[in-house]
Structures are given as structure tokens and as C-alpha cells.
Amino acid sequence: MRSAGLHSSYSSNLSDLKKITKFRLAISVVFSSIAGYFLGAETINFTTLILLAIGGYLMVGASNVYNQIIEKDLDILMDRTRNRPIPAGRMSVTTAFIIATVFTVLGLVVLYIINPKTAMFGAISIFLYVSIYTPLKTKTPLSVFVGAFPGAIPFMLGWVAASGDFSIEPGTLFMIQFFWQFPHFWAIGWWLYDDYKKGGFFMLPTGKRDKGTAIQIVLYTVWTILTSIIPVFGVTGRLYLTPFSGVIIFILGLGMLYFAFNLFKKRSTLAAKRLMLASVSYITLVQIIYVLDKIFREWI
């Protein structure tokens, strides 16, 4: 019986650790970093790849823990967040702070082992997310603009980890994920508008689920598509995309644009949720296509 109790306690603690570090979100960020690494690496160093995955998870996890510490009183007010470890009373602020601090230190050390620039961008990401983006969420819709900077770093971080340098190639990867975040997060803000309102969060550009917000979602979707196919034209250094892959990405982009226009037309919660799911599929498939395109070109 005692063994069963210990196992149950361990499972509960592990579950809370995954929730407070937002495990699935952190894994998606690690995926972006690894995709960027494959694009930037001339030869694959599996030690670096493992360090990037570990360091990336630690940094994202730390950011999410700090975020939940700061927003603990607001999380209680919202349906989707009230069961998080801190507002639900399953984890103390002190314990959460220790986790966040340990993750930050270890994450920076691991990324520094790869190279100093990777650690620097990791530090910039966590600083912007925790110190600027999080406080601004309850004050201005511009928080999404600020949050787009740390959110766009992972894709380019992989290239920097591979090359040890920041240039036009990782800059392009940064811009792709930067523009993508606006339709993505505004779709989430529209979908969860009522819940966000309970916590006092301002996520939509006009503050409302209106025509102005819908137009901006469409425009930033267009910018996302255009930025994604720039490497086809051979103006982004070593980062190149064949016309065939460019066409596939453009078609995928048209699919995402369809859902953006659908939101503009219907302005419904369901349409916003569908755009959010389409945006996740889009950025994931774009990263996969970029990597497969590079592998195919090297094989031939």
C-alpha cells in the first residue's frame, strides 16, 4: 500500500511539473530549434543536438514557470488555468521559483556549452518573455508584438547553435516565426476571448472580436506566407528552398489564409479555433518541408 502511495505521489508531482513547464508547448519549441539546427548544420553533431533539446526545454520551461508565478492570482479567475499547480494549491510559489531558477541556470549553462551566442539568445528570450511580455498582457494588446520576439527565437536558435553565428539565414527563420505568431495568437485570443477577459488580458489588436482585428489577422497571414517563400529566390545565403518546396508551402499558406478569411467572414469562436489549429499545422509543416528540402538537395 505504501509503495502504491509513493507511486501515486510521484505521478502527481511529475504531472504538475509537466503542467507548470507547459510540457507540450516546450516540446513544440524544442522541435522548432531542432529544425533550425538541421538547416544550419553542415554536419550533424548529435551531442550538440541533445544539448540544444535539453537547453531549449529548460529555458522554455523556466519562462513558463515564472509566468505562472507572476499570473497566479489571475489564473484562478480563468477556467482554462485555475487547475494549474499554483492556483490549485498543489505547488507553492517557493517551490515553483526554485524550479524556475534551477531550470534557468542549467538551461543557460547547457546552451553556453554549445556556444556563447546560443546562450545569449536564450537569455534574451527568457528576459523578454518574463520581464516585458508577461506584465504587458494585462495592460496593452501590444503585448502580442513584444511576445512575438521571444516566440520567434527558437527556430533561429537552432541555426545559431549549428553555426555559432547570427546572419541573414537565422534572421529569415526568425522573421517567418515572428509574423506567424500574430494570426496564431490572435486566433487564440479570439477563441478564448471570454476567458481571457475574466483575467483582464488584452490579446486582440483592437481589444475586440471585430472587423479590425479580423483584417489584421488576414494581413499578417499574408506576411507569414510571403516571408516563408523568400528563400526560394536565393537571397538568403545558405538558407535556400527549391521552387517545388516553395509551391507546396505557398499552397499550405493559402490553406491557412482560407481559415483567416473564414474568420473575417464569420467572426465566430469556432472559426477562430479552426484558424488556430491551421496555424499550428502550417508552421510545423513548413519547418518539416524546409528540412526535407535540404536533405533532398544534399542527396542529389
Map out the domains of the chain as residue ranges: 1-165, 167-300
Residue 8 has pLDDT above 70, yes or no: no
CATH 3.40.50.920 is held by the domain 1-165: no
Residue 4 has pLDDT above 80, yes or no: no
Query: Would you state the pLDDT for residue 69?
Result: 96
Query: Would you state the pLDDT for residue 213?
Result: 97
Query: Would you state the pLDDT for residue 249?
Result: 98
CA distances from 76 to 6, 31, 87, 137 (A): 29, 31, 5, 16
What percentage of the chain has pLDDT greater than the value 70? 97
- pLDDT digits over 289-298, tens only? 999 999 998 8
Query: Would you state the pLDDT for residue 2?
Result: 52
Kindly state the greatest CA–CA separation across the chain.
Answer: 66
- pLDDT digits over 155-172, tens only? 999 999 999 989 999 999
The number of helix segments (H) and strand segments (E) in the chain equals: 13, 0
Query: Would you state the pLDDT for residue 298?
Result: 85
Residue 5 has pLDDT above 70, yes or no: no
Q: Note whether 240 and 234 are within 8 A (CB).
A: yes
What is the pLDDT averaged over residues 121-138? Answer: 94
Would you say the C-alpha torsion 112, 118, 119, 122 has a positive or negative sign? negative
Residue 211 has pLDDT above 60, yes or no: yes
What is the pLDDT averaged over residues 180-209? Answer: 94
Q: Note whether 67 and 134 are within 8 A (CB).
A: yes
Query: Would you state the pLDDT for residue 7?
Result: 52
Closest CA to 26 of 61, 54, 2, 72: 61
Task: Assign 133 a pLDDT band (cuts: 50, 70, 90).
Answer: very high
- pLDDT digits over 42-80, tens only? 999 999 999 999 999 999 999 999 999 999 999 999 999
Task: Assign 299 a pLDDT band (cuts: 50, 70, 90).
Answer: confident
Query: Would you state the pLDDT for residue 271?
Result: 98
Average pLDDT, the chain: 94
- pLDDT digits over 221-238, tens only? 999 999 999 999 999 999
Q: Which residues contact 49 (CB under 8 A, 6 or more apart)?
A: 34, 37
Task: Assign 12 a pLDDT band (cuts: 50, 70, 90).
Answer: confident
Query: Would you state the pLDDT for residue 152?
Result: 95
Query: Would you state the pLDDT for residue 230?
Result: 97
Query: Would you state the pLDDT for residue 202?
Result: 84
Residue 6 has pLDDT above 90, yes or no: no
